[in-house]
Amino acid sequence: MADSQQTDPAPKWWSWPEGTGTADGPPAGVPAPRPGTGEGPGGGADGPAVTAEAGTAPGAAAGAGSPDPGVRYDPWGDRPLQIVDRGARDRGFRLWQVAAVGAAAALLAGAIGGYVGVLAERSSSTRLELPQAAVADKGRAPESVAGIAATALPGVVTLHVRGEKGGGTGTGFVLDPQGHILTNHHVVAGAKEIAVTFSTGESVTAELVGRDSGYDLAVVKVAGVRGLRPLSLGNSENVKVGDPVVAIGAPFDLSNTVTAGIISATGRPVTAGGDKGDGSDISYVDALQTDAPINPGNSGGPLLDARAHVVGINSAIRGADKDDPTRQGGSIGLGFAIPINQGKRVAEELIATGRATHPVIGVTLDMDYTGDGARVGDKGEDGKPSVVADGPAARAGIRAGDVITKVDGQRVRGGDELIVKIRAHRPGDRLTLTVERGGRDRTLEVVLGSANGS
């Protein structure tokens, strides 16, 4: 019967994930897409528009009336416009919307703030900060190694020397405001050009004033330099074993290198040089021994006491034996410095005359003698007598063949040691010599003479 006939429900044009919508429509609160509008399945790009058959308005009961023939229906259809007074509802909705937006904004701001806080906490928890001392006063006690170095470095220089056989590096230190600099003879030997570099890095040329191979000392001079900082000279007679010392130099051309140690011995007889083979360039030093590391390039640099006073001029090191397969080329803790008292006297003479004098007793020694002590030779050089006529030794009663065993009560073991002990004094000094003759010891007093150095 027509009045009881019903049409099939309108076809569904959407699909949702299982459990997300009702059986007959989209999930609650979600507007259904409109077929043929491009907003969902069945319309626009997604499918053809749907047209209902005439007389069967979708979703209407039979007998409810038929639409005009040929009228296209939308399943969710265009219905007659109904005007409804919704002013009060709209106003309520707007208030609710404002309140909702405000609440959402507050929640969002809180969430963002919390998230930022979490990030900050994470960042701070992953930033590693180790404990560290605060910046302190950079000053140091004057008697500390740092204090001594700060006082002395402005007066220490590096020497770069060029000669016919190549170049080399050594050290020196300023003696006076006139620009005189003390260094080792072996640093400037054979020099054709001498460059002096100060601790500030400034370099100037220098000229040789004088040198002495027997003492291994030399003086050079710079001109036109202002603000020179001469080092204070100490007294090597005051030095005791165990005293702390600081050495400054340019080992292996590493300028302004500071090392520290102690005086490990005094009065060490040291001979060095002799490269010419005739003994004319051998230096004899009654040296201060130190364990402050000294290496090639330290030569001529100052050895300083706890008051930053120069007590020695670093000159030589003792390496391991050449036959030792483990021999080191550098310092093994045995360095030797010329006592500053000797250096001061020689420097004064070199500045004044360009030459230095040597104290002598007027004998020729038998350097081949292997016994204990220093033996006076039977003959001197070129057949001359071994004891210089009317010389200091002759006046003291010393004879050829005598063996000198002590100087001022200190034991002498060989000819080199006797020369060292004598050169540690000045011409005119009075010494007491113990002499062995015919199996008997004699005590003789000698006044040292003078000879020009080389």
Active-site amino acid positions: 186, 216, 299
Residue 375 in tokens: 């033996």
Helix ranges (H only) for 61-136 are 87-126
Helix ranges (H only) for 11-144 are 87-126
- Alpha-carbon span 136 to 331, nearest angstrom: 35
- Alpha-carbon span 340 to 147, nearest angstrom: 21
Residue 373 near residue 348 (C-beta atoms within 8 A)? no
Q: Identify which of 10, 34, 12, 36 has the alpha carbon closest to the alpha carbon of residue 25.
A: 12
**Can you say how many angstroms the Cα of residue 199 is from the centroid of all Cα atoms in its chain?**
16
User: Reduced to 3 states, what is the DSSP secondary structure of residue 294?
Assistant: coil
Q: Identify which of 234, 89, 249 has the alpha carbon closest to the alpha carbon of residue 172.
A: 249
Q: What are residue 151's phi and psi, to 5 degrees? A: -70, -40
Contacts within 8 Å (CB) and 24+ apart, 114-119: none
